[in-house]
Amino acid sequence: MCPHATEPETPAPDGEGCSLCSSSLDDLGVRLHDGVATLRVWSQNASAIELVIFDETDLDWETAQLGLERRPGGVWEITTHLLQPGTRYALRVGGAHSPGNTFNPETLLLDPYARGLAQGDGYEEWRSVVIADGFDWGGVAKPQRPLDRTVIYEGHVKGLTKRHPGVPPALHGAYAGLAHPAMIEYYRELGITAIELLPVQAFASEPRLLDRGLSNYWGYNTLNFFTPHAAYATEESRKAGPEAILREFKGMVKLLHEAGIEVILDVVYNHTNEEGIGGPRTSLRGIDNALYYRQHEDGSYIDTTGCGNTLDTATPAAARLVLDSLRYWATEMQVDGFRFDLATALGRDGENTYTPDHPLLQAIRTDPALAGVKIIAEPWDVGFGGWQTGNFPTGWSEWNDRYRDRVRNFWLSDIDYARRASAPTGIGGFAGRLSGSSKTFSDERGPLASINFVTAHDGFTLHDLVAYDVKHNEANGEDNRDGADMNRSFNHGAEGPTDDPGILTARRKAMRNLLGTLMLSAGVPMLTAGDEFGRTQRGNNNAYCQDSALSWLNWDHEPWQQDLLAHASLLTRLRDQNPALRPLRYARLGEHIPNASVMDWYDQDGETMEVEQWNDPRNRTLQYAAASTPDTEAFNRILLVVHGTESPTDVRLPAIEGVSGFVSLWSSADERPSPVETVHRPGEVITLPGTSMRLFRAE
């Protein structure tokens, strides 16, 4: 049986094993051997495929045209000495016209498995480039950071370093800049363990954006699944060519690994840059449109991504393309993990219905080449039945949008509502998210299935969540129609910039509460780059087309931003030092579960929470005690006090068996973290300011 088959196995085209293990789909693309190269291209419906070779400097000068021979399983093949490292080439594919097929033998197409790309003068003037893989990793291995010790930092290659004064200008916005010593020092001080990069697989801007003088900054418009985006390389590497770009990317990974920092890629396999019918024809559409993209019988696209097309992972060749790409980035490029954009689209079957048993989802989890790789789903798409949070297979983690929404509601929307009436909900739902979202994820998957986040690249920044009630996306050129309307934000009394000291104080504390909740919750925290010092996008909650100072991180910080950064750095350290905050499993009443955290809940009087208190809107204060059950670390117990109304309150610390004192570690009420660790006794009454949190270590 293959290593990632499900029961029953999906037959392979050649009749052996599951579809993803079909030998006819092995070694697609260019393979160098014995002084020559073999090119293999899959197209079930083509009638002819031609290899076109170009001059090494003039991408419009065709120097040779060679026909490929059809092999079993829909694969076309040629072996030739004309394909050598650095050779520029393209494909021409012909076939019959019928619903679903869009062959045009005059169109020059990219090899889907190309390891390098070169661009000519036009939008669709791309050529594939032969690459000789290889790199001296110098014995540097992947950090293999355990998931419970992981703190993810989501950022943009260009945006992170474009304005950083400690990074040399030649490296600004580049792969090399991301791993510059100034950046590595910052990552370490902040306490993050993994950088999750917005798409770095080669992508292209949509024509509609180019027509408006904008570009696709985020990169969710993939052109090729194997090639690093050239624009993120230094000018020196770009001039030297695709092999140099590849070396720069690998050099970045190597330096980050030396520093113990993992690299996670945000990957976009759900759709491509070819958009809907009539859009650009760069690769898959011209090679075998009918089988690479989901379609109705009349050839119109089934679009579950909102981007014009959806890759049809129900077909073996499309699913294998995704799997082979992942294998390449995990092995040749030494990447540590993947976050799958609109992952529900990848798990849709031949009837376009999502199933967690989809062969591709199972293969990603079990393929030997991906062993130890972190696998994270964005568990939704825009198709029917697209919202699937909590429904991915064991071995997958998921962006937890339920966590995001509940946390925002508790600290922002509820407070806004309470100013006009009274708080609409109690603290029970918030507590469920704080303790690991056990109602969303199964016992088998545990709290580490939850990637906790309050913000992401898509939406308001942390600062803008507390400073704007509505989006301000006018700069995107769509009359403010784009971007989410439901943000669960609260401007605290003024829309956008203000000089009101009371409003600014409340905003800063709200940011500290949100950061504190994120870092002290069970699950895996994901921090959006710049939130640690309160960066703003001036109310733009959909800055995908803003390649400008609006989206680039500003490293010139005001005193309040330095204070917020000090809080973020302290919180990551406290998370690392206290295993009770990062359980691997859910605890079960009356059982000893290794690497879980036994949780007890107390009200503001120090008494065990009663059932009716959980959802009573008048009760928004609780004390959360978590005791670790580690098998490799020392025993640890924490007490987190949460107060969710704007009026101050007195809290009596609980009497817990075996606890003689509580050491104060952090308070969101402090403008800057206090270096003093005060000790308090069980039964002692402390005063909490309105809307605040306080963390103690129980001893």
Active site residues: 341, 378
Alpha carbon 404 to its chain centroid, in Å, reads: 14
**Max Cα-Cα span within the chain:** 85
Is the distance from CB of 18 to CB of 10 less than 8 angstroms?
A: yes
- The amino acid present at 681, given as its one-letter code, is R
> CA dist 128 to 226, 372, 373, 607, Å?
11, 31, 28, 68
Is the distance from CB of 84 to CB of 53 less than 8 angstroms?
A: no
Name, in order, each residue with C-beta under 8 angstroms of 471's C-beta and a sequence gap of 6 or more.
460, 480, 483, 484, 485, 487, 539, 540, 541, 542
3-state secondary structure of 321: helix
Q: Which contacts (CB < 8 Å, 24+ apart) does range 208-213 have? A: 209/545, 210/123, 212/477
Strand ordering across the sheet containing 621-628: 597-602, 621-628, 637-643, 692-698, 662-667, 679-680
Tokens of 447: 């709290």
Closest CA to 345 of 323, 378, 320, 296: 378
Question: H/E element holding 117?
Answer: strand 116-119
Q: How many residues appear in the chain? A: 699
Is the distance from CB of 425 to CB of 414 less than 8 angstroms?
A: yes
Closest CA to 664 of 647, 651, 646: 651
Is the distance from CB of 305 to CB of 294 less than 8 angstroms?
A: no
The neighbouring-strand residues paired with 666 are 695
Is the distance from CB of 49 to CB of 95 less than 8 angstroms?
A: no
Tokens of 362: 């199972």
**How far apart are alpha carbons 455 and 541 in whole angstroms?**
10
Instruction: Give the CA radius of gyration of the chain.
Output: 27
Sign of the CA dihedral with 3 first, then 336, 434, and 354 last: negative
Closest CA to 321 of 224, 245, 228: 224
Q: Which DSSP state fits 629?
A: -
**How far apart are alpha carbons 278 and 377 in whole angstroms?**
30
